[in-house]
Amino acid sequence: MNKIYYLSSCNTCTRIINELNLPEGFQLQDIKTEPITTQQIEQMRELTNSYESLFSKRARLYKELGLKDKSLTEDDYKNYILEHYTFLKRPVILYKNQIFIGNSKTTVEATKLALHE
């Protein structure tokens, strides 16, 4: 399934989605109004090397909860992402058994190449 996990109130997510010129058949999931399920995060984990790679250390709650001073396990990363949407690095794009995580220029360019090859 081709899917994008994003936040509709995030200007960066919106800009990237518009920039990608998505092919037909993409499903968009606003993670604020439709939270990520355990099954969905496990599917994402299968396509990447860790839950940590899906975790946003730029989230305000990361600093507020003092998580940067703690040693987090893979289960901690998974549970925090499931607990609050801001912990998911956005956007997460699933396309043909590939995963693209975050909004770095290299990630966006790699996504464009994959979508339009």
Position of tokens 């995030």?
A: 10
| pTM, rounded to two decimals | 0.94
pLDDT, tens digit only, all 117 positions of the chain: 899 999 999 999 999 999 999 988 899 999 999 999 999 999 999 999 899 999 999 999 999 999 989 999 999 999 999 999 999 999 999 999 999 999 999 999 999 999 988
63-101: string of b/e by CB count within 10 Å (b at 16+)?
eeeebeeeebeeeebbbbbbeebbbbbbbbbbbeeebbb
Per DSSP, which regions of 12-113 are E strands? 27-30, 92-95, 98-101
